[in-house]
Amino acid sequence: NVVFRLMERLLVSTAIEESWIDAEPMLFLGEWCRHPSRRHRWENLDIEVVPYHWNDRAKVKGDRRYLDDLYEALLGELANELNERHGVDHGIRYWRILVGPWLGFVVQELFDRWETISAALSGFHVSGTIVLEGLPDARPAYDMADHLALTNSWEWNHHLSSMILQGFTNVDCLSKSVADEPGFRLSWDPEEPTAPMSFAHRLFVAGSDLLSRCTRSTDALVINSGLRSLRDELTLQRRLGQVPCLRRVEQPVHVGVESAQRCWSLGEADPGSFDSCVRKLVPSLLPSAYLEGYGSLGAQINRLRWPERPSVVFTSASHFYDDVFKAWCAEKVEAGAPLVIGQHGGHVGIGWSFVHDHQMEVADRFLSWGWEVATEPKVVPVGMLKAPVLPDRHLDGDGRVVLILGNETAQLTSLTSSALSSQFNEYLEELHTFVEELAEEVRGELMVRLSRHDTDWEVGERWRSRHPEVALDDGHRPVLDLLSETRLFITTNNGTTFLESIYLDVPTVMFWDTEKWGLTSLALPAFAELRAAGVFFDDPISAARHVSEIWGDVGSWWANPAVREAVASFSLQFCRQSPDVVDGILSELASVAGGR
């Protein structure tokens, strides 16, 4: 190993093979460079892979604190810069609502690439690297939603690493043009089709556009509520005493980049440091909606038939990726409207993430699915907003055991308590270990549900190769349909599905590596109870042996008093059933609006 590390290697940051030189020893920055479907191209090459820097969990803890502090400093600097450039005088909360989600993501993305490159240069002898030019995705995003799409692009991620390598290292960078025409795409990088809007949905949207003319200036604004159904959302608006209508999520007008507007940087920092790097790159990467398109964004929100002086603003999903809503919301909140955010899915309260930190910072009140903490008075438990309903159970015999796969991006988009980047391969290995440890009888009844959002890991093909006997679900059927046919439900990451299954009282076993999918101090006691009851495990072998043991009579195990007590306690805290969740939300909205 020492001999290999002393050898000069070409540094490679992407699976795009035009950046490779097969005849030379190569150093891949991460597992994402080795795309599974291209194994025939790389398996016989002389390749080393840089160990992932966040395999050190102590480093994760320290880096998280550092990045939180850096984000706050950068947000203030960026707010001042944008105020000056746009001739406005908005406060920090306004800019936190509008640009904060993007800034938090891009700071963590850049730091991840910086640290990965630093690990490569400190641990290996690098001969140089190839920087690909002419890639369509090597550009600033139009808006936050576009930024999220770009983070899944090989081209954009290569661009990000190349900016660091060219601007902040001494690595010899050889430029190579690979795309002479617009629309260049990798042949094995397919676009996901967009589902067409149904006629009924189009009709309802048209009706809502008409009803929006009845909006009063002081109505509450409800959008993307996270409630179970459209009926519940309209019921909430009706109980608020206003004409109910569905608010459409609008995309910002795409405005092109003007290089002359980006010749600036944020505050000063030590040359050669990451602090300096991020302050120079933020202006280059800033979505055009916040710079060149800011005026157009303002004009767009002025055309909305939304309340001029809303009594309260309520959303569970639009506050992060929806820039039109965020621009409108930031303006109204700055004018005094309270912002209430509802819990949208799992992980919240159980794990930590920048996404949750952000929503807690911008909200006046946060409506949780059951949890609360004395140190955070903003949090009010109202119960599970989506309140799922199980379809009629139509078990085939006694039902199957269904295992749900998680999904993570190949390259980090934000720092969170989960399997990060290349660690996803370790997560998959743990699942394979679980399957191999199952009794043959159970394995024969196993169905594995894939993620329909898998873009880089090709998990389906890997499962078919490793366990051809295991049935696969492609991830397009509703989870509730699967739950209605399930004898035992297995969840393998800290997400949403186990909250749904426990809420619906479907027998559930959970397992994951708590070093990766770390738990908050709030959640630790509840998970200790689940562990003692045989509902939660932190290793795949123990989980598989337990599943094999109870498979013959899952119902009796689930009915065991110790299991019932642990599950009931957990449910009360993290997926609470409410007799009328709409009424609970209504009460909190009225309380916040009345306190203005």
Q: For tokens 């603003």, name the residue.
A: 313
Same domain, residue pair 383 and 459: no
pLDDT tens digits, one per residue of 244-277: 988 888 899 999 999 999 999 999 889 899 999 9
Residue 416 DSSP symbol: B
Same domain, residue pair 232 and 381: yes
Q: What is the mean pLDDT of residues 132-155?
A: 95
| C-beta separation of 152 from 297 below 8 A | no
β-strand partners of 511: 537
Predicted confidence at residue 433, as pLDDT, reads: 98
pLDDT tens digits, one per residue of 22-56: 999 999 999 999 998 899 999 999 999 999 999 99
Instruction: Write the burial class of residue 188 (CB in 10 Å: 0-12 exposed, 13-18 middle, 19+ buried).
Output: exposed
Q: Where in the sequence is the domain holding 512, given as residue range(s)?
A: 400-574
One DSSP character per residue, 103-138 reads HHHHHHHHHHHHHHHHHHHHHSEEEEEEEEE--TT-
One DSSP character per residue, 349-374 reads TTB-BHHHHHHHHH-SEEEESS---T
Does residue 568 surpass a pLDDT of 80?
A: yes
One DSSP character per residue, 475-536 reads S-S-HHHHHHTEEEEEE-SSSSHHHHHHHTT--EEEE--TTTSPPPTTTHHHHHHHHHTTSE
3 state SS of 221: strand
Give the β-pairing of 471-473 and 486-491.
unpaired
Q: Tell me how many domains the chain contains.
A: 3
pLDDT tens digits, one per residue of 485-531: 999 999 999 999 999 999 999 999 999 999 999 999 999 999 999 99
Predicted confidence at residue 452, as pLDDT, reads: 86
Same domain, residue pair 569 and 590: no
pLDDT tens digits, one per residue of 88-137: 999 999 999 999 999 999 999 999 999 999 999 999 999 999 999 999 99
pLDDT-based confidence at residue 193 (cuts at 50, 70, 90): very low
pLDDT tens digits, one per residue of 209-252: 666 667 899 999 999 999 998 899 999 999 999 999 888 888 99
Predicted confidence at residue 4, as pLDDT, reads: 46
Q: How far apart are CA 538 and CA 493, in angstroms?
A: 10
3 state SS of 173: strand
β-strand partners of 353: 416
Tokens at 110, concatenated: 């850049």
Same domain, residue pair 456 and 376: no
Does residue 183 surpass a pLDDT of 50?
A: no
Q: Count H helices, E strands: the chain? A: 23, 16
Same domain, residue pair 11 and 131: yes
| C-beta separation of 498 from 530 below 8 A | no
Same domain, residue pair 101 and 234: no
Same domain, residue pair 438 and 364: no
Question: What does each C-alpha distance from 28 to 9, 104, 267, 438, 473 come to in angstroms?
Answer: 9, 26, 33, 35, 32
Residue 261 lies in a domain: no
Residue 300 lies in a domain: no
Residue 395 lies in a domain: no
Residue 295 lies in a domain: no
Q: How far apart are CA 143 and CA 141, in angstroms?
A: 5
Same domain, residue pair 459 and 365: no
Beta-carbon neighbour count of residue 303 at 10 Å? 8
Among 257, 286, 315, the domain-final residue is: 286
Residue 253 lies in a domain: no
Q: Which helix (H) or strand (E) holds 401?
A: strand 400-404
| Per-chain mean pLDDT for the chain | 92
pLDDT tens digits, one per residue of 418-431: 999 999 999 999 99
Question: What does each C-alpha distance from 196 to 12, 193, 415 come to in angstroms?
Answer: 39, 9, 33
Same domain, residue pair 482 and 383: no
Q: Which of the two residues, 203 and 415, has the higher pLDDT score?
A: 415
Predicted confidence at residue 454, as pLDDT, reads: 80
CATH number of 365's domain = 3.40.50
Phi, psi of 28 (to 5 degrees): -85, 135
Same domain, residue pair 441 and 501: yes
Predicted confidence at residue 185, as pLDDT, reads: 44
Does residue 10 surpass a pLDDT of 50?
A: yes
Residue 192 lies in a domain: no
Does residue 6 surpass a pLDDT of 80?
A: no
Same domain, residue pair 569 and 584: no
CATH number of 507's domain = 3.40.50.2000
Query: Considering the chain, what percentage of its residues have pLDDT values greater than 70?
Result: 92
Q: What is the mean pLDDT of residues 467-482?
A: 93
Which of 60, 99, 78 has the alpha carbon at shortest distance from 358?
A: 99
One DSSP character per residue, 10-67 reads EEE--S-GGG--TTS-EEESSGGGS-GGGHHHHTTS-EEEPPPGGGSHHHHHHHHHHH
Same domain, residue pair 495 and 529: yes
One DSSP character per residue, 549-581 reads HHGGGHHHHHHSHHHHHHHHHHHHHHS---TTH
Residue 484 lies in a domain: yes
Predicted confidence at residue 349, as pLDDT, reads: 96
Q: How far is CA 77 from the centre of its chain?
A: 26
3 state SS of 332: helix
Edge-to-edge strands, sheet with 486-491? 471-473, 446-449, 400-404, 486-491, 508-511, 536-537
Which of 182, 113, 97 has the alpha carbon at shortest distance from 151?
A: 113
Residue 194 lies in a domain: no
Q: Is the pTM of this model over 0.85?
A: yes
